């Protein structure tokens, strides 16, 4: 490797970018909407659960909520094995994001950011939630154990027995069984 290539690789490593290319961290089954209620493991908040509702996109960006706070600038990435030393959660993946709004509104608990370390097990995520406490006035973090399950969106045409409002009721028939939608030709007078 030339000196120039070594310098470029070193600068990219400092920036957290691979010199060989950045791979997508989220595999296809991980992309989508996930929801769970984490059990808070620290003693100081009165609330004992923390709702998490996130969407992982194909470009590794993440949107959603942790408690009452909204994720801002969230991203999904793999954990560097060297960064796991001394961590409570020794996981393969992590979501890192800033937070907007209170994490627990009823208690006035606001934190500037969150880390959500996760492992992929049996088509779900298992891990935890860890807010930054050292940047807050009271220096306490909110921590919770968490399992995220996929949110399944029902196919309206098959899951629900819907009827068209312009037709007489056809009890028990799906949209597919009722046939195609009428066109403008149907409503025109001859």
- pLDDT, tens digit, 9 for 90 and up, residues 93-132: 999 999 999 999 999 999 999 999 999 999 999 999 999 8
Give residue 186's pLDDT. Answer: 47
Question: According to the model, what pLDDT value does residue 179 have?
Answer: 59
Q: How many CB atoms lie within 10 A of CB 89?
A: 20
Residue 93 is predicted with a pLDDT of: 92
Cα separations in angstroms, 102 against 99, 107, 109: 8, 9, 6
Contact 40, 50 (CB under 8 A): yes
Mean pLDDT, all residues of the chain: 76
Backbone angles phi, psi at 10, to 5 degrees: -65, -45
Examine the pLDDT at 40 and tell me if it is beyond 50: yes
Tokens of 28: 């296809």
Selected residue with higher pLDDT from 153 and 81: 153
Q: What is the pLDDT of residue 141?
A: 86
Instruction: Return the higher-pLDDT residue of 21 and 132.
Output: 132
Predicted confidence (pLDDT) per residue in 141-174, tens digit: 889 999 999 998 764 444 444 444 444 444 555 5
Reference 36, options 166, 159, 189, 150; nearest CA is 150
Which domains can be identified in the chain, with CATH numbers? 24-150 (2.40.128.120), 156-182 (no CATH)
Task: Decide which of 28 and 189 is more confident.
Answer: 28
The SS3 assignment for 20 reads: coil
pTM of structure: 0.66
| Per-residue pLDDT at 115 | 93
One-character DSSP codes across 88-127: S---SEEEEEEEESEEEGGGTEE-SEEEEEEEEETTEEEE
Task: State pLDDT tens for residues 42-59.
Answer: 999 999 999 999 999 999
């Amino acid at each position: 490797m030339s000196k120039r290539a070594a310098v470029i690789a070193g600068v990219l490593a400092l920036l957290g970018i691979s010199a060989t290319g950045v791979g997508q961290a989220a595999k296809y089954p991980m992309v989508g909407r996930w929801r769970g209620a984490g059990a808070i493991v620290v003693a100081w908040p009165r609330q004992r659960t923390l709702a998490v509702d996130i969407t992982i996109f194909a470009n590794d960006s993440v949107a959603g909520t942790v408690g009452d706070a909204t994720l801002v600038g969230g991203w999904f990435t793999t954990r560097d094995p060297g960064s796991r030393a001394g961590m409570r959660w020794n996981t393969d993946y992590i979501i890192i994001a800033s937070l907007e709004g209170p994490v627990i509104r009823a208690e006035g608990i606001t934190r500037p950011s969150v880390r959500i370390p996760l492992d992929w097990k049996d088509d779900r995520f298992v891990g935890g939630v860890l807010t930054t406490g050292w940047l807050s006035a009271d220096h306490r973090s909110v921590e919770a154990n968490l399992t995220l399950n996929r949110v399944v969106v029902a196919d309206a045409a098959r899951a629900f027995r819907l009827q068209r409002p312009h037709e007489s009721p056809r009890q028990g028939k799906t949209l597919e069984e009722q046939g195609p939608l009428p066109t403008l030709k149907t409503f025109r007078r001859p």
